[in-house]
Amino acid sequence: MRIKNKIAVITGAGSGQGRAAAVLFAKEGASIVACDWKPEAGDETVQQVISDGGKAIFVRADVSNSRDVQNLINTAISTFGRIDILYNNAGVGFSSPLSMSDVLNTPEEDWDRVIAINLKSMYLTAKFAIPEMIKSGGGSIVNTASIAAMIGSEAAHAYTAAKGGMVALSRALAVEFGPKNIRSNCICPGAIDTPMIAPVVDPMKGSGQLLLNSPIRRLGTPDDIAYCALYLASDESSFVTGATFVVDGGYTAQ
């Protein structure tokens, strides 16, 4: 087992990549604190982990809300005693009612909300989890940004700015807290087949166009990302920090 007896807090664990990571991390020996703002979705993930023989609890939290995040971290500590892995995975994108438009067409409230959910959340989880990690001798923070942080596009400007901020903050955390044995790395997924991108990808699946058009001629799966996160969460990556892992089937290499 690759992360035996570790305690992992995973945000956005009710769907897609977060659920895949919860299931995989538990199979590899971790106890899971599954966070989502949708209780039914989070409970379903927990049930899946438990029926596979793993250990998990669900904590409802809106990751953009300071009190919710504090409660998430407190519950992880009161239940399991420490946090070894913090996986900042929750985010909103194309399936959200919030604007995924360019700056000219993004309402200010939507800009603020997208930045709060995708980027401020990382500040909040770090703020409350890092002191606990320091107390217990260190930990690994895994952050999910996007290839939107690496290349420009005509749409989703608030999302792009938030994900770029995540890459930068991930590096800053690595520098500041490396001496305390806390690592921080970022994953930049390409198009991954989850509910988040269904509204833009489903109409294209038939034609195999655009986002599907990476050198590896398919969409990524949630497991493609979960295995990268597992490596970064585990001690196998103990000399890796401040790094950005692009997992996009070669899309940005073209």
Ligand X SMILES: NC(=O)c1ccc[n+]([C@@H]2O[C@H](COP(=O)([O-])OP(=O)(O)OC[C@H]3O[C@@H](n4cnc5c(N)ncnc54)[C@H](O)[C@@H]3O)[C@@H](O)[C@H]2O)c1
Active site residues: 159
Distance CA 219, CA 133 (A): 35
| Of 54, 56, 58, 89, the one binding ligand X by CB under 6 A | 89
Give the number of residues in contact with ligand X, rule: CB under 6 A.
31
At its nearest, how many Å lie between ligand X and the CB of residue 108? 19
Residue placing its CB nearer to ligand X in the complex, 110 or 138:
110
Distance CA 110, CA 213 (A): 30
Span interacting with ligand X, options 2-10, 75-83, 86-94, 238-246, rule CB under 6 A: 86-94
Cα distances from 105 to residues 132, 161, 163, 165, in angstroms, run 41, 15, 19, 21
32 in contact with ligand X (CB under 6 A): no
Q: Residue 34 contacts by C-beta under 8 Å, 6 or more apart in sequence?
A: 10, 13, 14, 18, 22, 42, 45, 46, 49, 56, 57, 58, 59
Span interacting with ligand X, options 134-142, 178-186, 194-202, 228-236, rule CB under 6 A: 194-202
Closest CA to 118 of 84, 157, 83, 152: 157
| Of 6, 10, 12, 21, the one binding ligand X by CB under 6 A | 12
Closest CA to 229 of 150, 160, 172, 145: 145
| Of 107, 137, 195, 208, the one binding ligand X by CB under 6 A | 195
Estimate to the nearest angstrom the gap between the alpha carbon of 78 and the chain centroid.
23
At its nearest, how many Å lie between ligand X and the CB of residue 215? 17
192 in contact with ligand X (CB under 6 A): yes
At its nearest, how many Å lie between ligand X and the CB of residue 205? 13
Taking a C-beta distance cutoff of 8 angstroms, is the pair 80, 31 a contact?
A: yes
At its nearest, how many Å lie between ligand X and the CB of residue 140? 17
90 in contact with ligand X (CB under 6 A): yes
Window 233 to 252, contacts with ligand X (CB under 6 A)? none
Q: Residue 86 contacts by C-beta under 8 Å, 6 or more apart in sequence?
A: 8, 9, 125, 126, 129, 133, 139, 140, 141, 142
Binding mask 53-72 for ligand X (x = CB under 6 A): --------xxxx--------
At its nearest, how many Å lie between ligand X and the CB of residue 152? 15
Take residue 12 and report the two structure tokens written for it.
């956005």
Cβ of 55: how many Cβ atoms within 10 Å? 16
Span interacting with ligand X, options 50-58, 74-82, 188-196, 236-244, rule CB under 6 A: 188-196
Distance CA 9, CA 35 (A): 7
Closest CA to 88 of 54, 126, 50, 56: 126
At its nearest, how many Å lie between ligand X and the CB of residue 57? 15
- Residues in contact with ligand X by the rule CB under 6 A: 11-12, 14-18, 36-38, 41, 61-64, 89-93, 95, 117, 144, 146, 189, 191-192, 194-197
